Amino acid sequence: MGTRVPPVPMDPAAAAKSRRDRHDPDEMEGLFSRMLSRTRNVLPDPPVSVDGRLFAHLPHDFVDCISRLPDVLLGNIVSRLPVKEAARTAALSRRWRGVWRSTPLVLVDSHILPADAGTAVARADARRITSAVSRILAAHPGPFRCVHLTSSYMEEFDGLLRRWLQILADKGIEELILINRPMPLGCLLRSTFFLPSTFLGMTTLTCLYLGLWKFPDTTGVKRVTFFPNLRELGLCTVLMESKDLDFILDRSPVLETLCVESNIFKLGLRLVSQSIRCVKIILSFFEEIAVVDAPCLERLILSGGWTKDGVCTKVKIGHAPKLHSLGYLDSENHVLEFGNTVIKAGTKTSPSTMVPSVRILALEVRCGVRSYAKMIPTVLRCFPNVETLHIMSGETGQPSGKHNLEFWNESGTIKCIRSCIKLLVFHDFRGDRSELAFLKFFFKSALVLEEALIVMANGSFTSMEDMLSKVKPLGSMKRASSDSTITINPQGGSIWNFKKASDFSLCDPFAND
């Protein structure tokens, strides 16, 4: 027998390319669908429902009352139908023939599919959608009220997206949701497929969400206001540099809401805006989030952050006199800084390290890990006027210490607990001794507490009896506020709805659904 020659090892770059080249299209499409499903949690809902349908009258019902309505009401009806049904109204009668073309266009490309197609879009279906979108954009004279493009294969058609964006700009697009296809990794790893800079000229935009794109380089772009009407901006897995984010924020003078979702790249956010009211940062890593000058900022929402190469996100709060709601701050992934003071366990607070405007505060804590638990009193002292406190109990893994009531008593008096907090919401309660010790300390200190809501962690209890046995000590203990109530929510579930977090008609952006 001959000697077997061992295979030559492949260098890492070639191995990675080989793995990418072997990706099954269906597997890649499935991955895209999962990413898109996560992104849809933050995308604005379209103003039309896919369930809308157009039905003709039965033959014996010859009285057509709807066609007698004024044009403005007919247009209102058409604008609430999916685009296929809306365009079909032109065939109803001469009265309806021009209604669709004279009504501001609402186009959601996923509504072009059959109603039973589901959220996953097959490649062939996506190509048909792409062709249909081209015809619709060309046929409708505008203006365009709302266009959601999440299911079209734009990269496969040379110059198609650039033409679409020019049409949208020419016909007065107001709300644009633009998600890239095909598989995002292919687009993000290649350096050739940038989002065309044509969209920078859409001065009529009021709402813009971009997903799975490389942002165009803004170096050398003329210094003019590109988005004079933009009020809401979403960046979902968008590869960009800090200077590009500064660029778009600087040129959006009436921007009120900024949403950043699934940013996995090195990026810093320097917030200087005279108009912004709400910032949502979801499943993202920033080296630094600096609120430099934001006099109208009311909500700073942080969720699902992480450390990168051992570096935490630095959260710096500067001039934000209206900041009302803040969280979820996580001592594992966030470092608080006020002025030049980094907040550490035991840091002595002063007026320069306090944010008195915050009334709703959300913290992610690991009560059983000493290094994290020691941060809780210090952080709470930085927000002396909090009235609603949300605590999300994180998994502790292997606790580094036993934290009984004495541990918390040693932290001393905390002003917001003693005299301000009226509502405590404790999420993901598992019944750990460290959780119970914190809650006992809280109840013994909270003089003005009105209600405590304890939300159970899913799968943490074997039975209702097991759950009740864990919370029983809380119900029987003497509380500083004797009139306060303790409510148990055994269902667990999601903590809040990201879309509702910027709904200012709702007082608490962290409230359960």
Q: What pLDDT, in 10s, does the model give residues 325-336?
A: 998 998 888 899
What pLDDT, in 10s, does the model give residues 350-405?
999 999 999 999 999 888 787 888 899 999 999 999 999 999 988 766 554 556 67
Under a CB-based contact definition with an 8 Å cutoff, are residues 285 and 263 in contact? yes
Q: Pick the closest to residue 470 from 479, 457, 481 (CA basis).
A: 457
- Least confidently predicted of 18-22, 176-180, 457-461: 18-22
The CA distance from 153 to 161, in Å, is 9
Q: Is residue 500 part of a domain?
A: yes
pLDDT of amino acid 188: 46
The tally of CA atoms less than 13 A away on the side-chain side of residue 423 is 13
Residue 346: pLDDT above 70? Answer: yes
Which of 87-101, 248-262, 489-503 shows the highest mean pLDDT?
A: 248-262
Query: What domain range includes position 87?
Result: 66-103
Q: Is residue 144 part of a domain?
A: no
Q: Is residue 24 part of a domain?
A: no
The CA distance from 467 to 429, in Å, is 10
pLDDT of amino acid 61: 56
- CB under 8 A, 24+ apart: contacts of 68-74: 71/99, 71/102, 74/99
Q: Measured between alpha carbons, how far is residue 298 from residues 207, 292, 512 in Å?
A: 19, 14, 19
pLDDT of amino acid 115: 52
pLDDT of amino acid 24: 58
Residue 81: pLDDT above 80? Answer: no
Quick one: pLDDT band at residue 194, thresholds 50, 70, 90? confident
Residue 55: pLDDT above 60? Answer: no
Of all residues in the chain, the percent with pLDDT exceeding 70 is 78
- Domain end marker among 103, 124, 156: 103
Q: Is residue 441 part of a domain?
A: yes
Quick one: pLDDT band at residue 276, thresholds 50, 70, 90? very high
Spell out the residues 6+ positions from residue 509 whose beta carbon is closer than 8 angstroms to its own: 278, 299, 301, 325, 360, 496, 500, 501, 502, 503
What pLDDT, in 10s, does the model give residues 126-166?
778 888 899 999 999 989 999 999 887 766 666 888 899 99
Mean pLDDT along residues 187-202: 69
Mean pLDDT along residues 77-100: 75
Mean pLDDT of the chain: 81
Q: What are phi and psi of 337, to 5 degrees?
A: -140, 130
Beta strands 207-214 and 334-338, pairing class: unpaired
Name the helix (H) or strand (E) containing 428. strand 423-429
- Domain end marker among 103, 122, 152: 103
Quick one: pLDDT band at residue 53, thresholds 50, 70, 90? low
Under a CB-based contact definition with an 8 Å cutoff, are residues 313 and 334 in contact? yes
Query: How many CB atoms neighbour CB 36 within 10 A?
Result: 23
Mean pLDDT along residues 69-80: 78
Q: Is residue 123 part of a domain?
A: no
The CA distance from 429 to 469, in Å, is 13
Task: Name the domain count of the chain.
Answer: 2
Q: Is residue 476 part of a domain?
A: yes
State the pTM of this model. 0.84
Quick one: pLDDT band at residue 26, thresholds 50, 70, 90? low
pLDDT of amino acid 266: 65
pLDDT of amino acid 11: 42
Quick one: pLDDT band at residue 80, thresholds 50, 70, 90? confident
User: 269-301 b/e with 16+ CB inside 10 Å = b?
Assistant: bbbebeebbbbbbbbbbbebbbbeebeebbbbb
pLDDT of amino acid 112: 83
The tally of CA atoms less than 13 A away on the side-chain side of residue 409 is 5
Quick one: pLDDT band at residue 6, thresholds 50, 70, 90? very low
pLDDT of amino acid 195: 85
- Least confidently predicted of 92-106, 181-195, 400-414: 181-195
What pLDDT, in 10s, does the model give residues 213-238?
888 888 878 777 689 999 999 998 88
The CA distance from 177 to 269, in Å, is 22
The token duo for 67 is: 């066609």
Residue 33: pLDDT above 80? Answer: no
The CA distance from 56 to 45, in Å, is 28
Q: Is residue 180 part of a domain?
A: no
Q: What are phi and psi of 296, to 5 degrees?
A: -105, 0
The CA distance from 277 to 505, in Å, is 13
- Least confidently predicted of 343-357, 423-437, 483-497: 483-497
Of all residues in the chain, the percent with pLDDT exceeding 90 is 34
pLDDT of amino acid 25: 57
- Domain end marker among 103, 125, 153: 103
Calculate the CA dihedral of residues 195, 198, 201, 202 and round it to 10 degrees: -70
- Least confidently predicted of 40-49, 60-69, 404-413, 448-457: 60-69
User: 480-510 b/e with 16+ CB inside 10 Å = b?
Assistant: ebeebebebeeebeebbebeebbeeeeebbb
Residue 296: pLDDT above 70? Answer: yes
pLDDT of amino acid 32: 57
Q: Measured between alpha carbons, how far is residue 269 from residues 89, 283, 294, 495 in Å?
A: 47, 15, 13, 25
Q: Is residue 187 part of a domain?
A: no
What pLDDT, in 10s, does the model give residues 474-485?
888 888 898 899
pLDDT of amino acid 452: 94
pLDDT of amino acid 283: 84
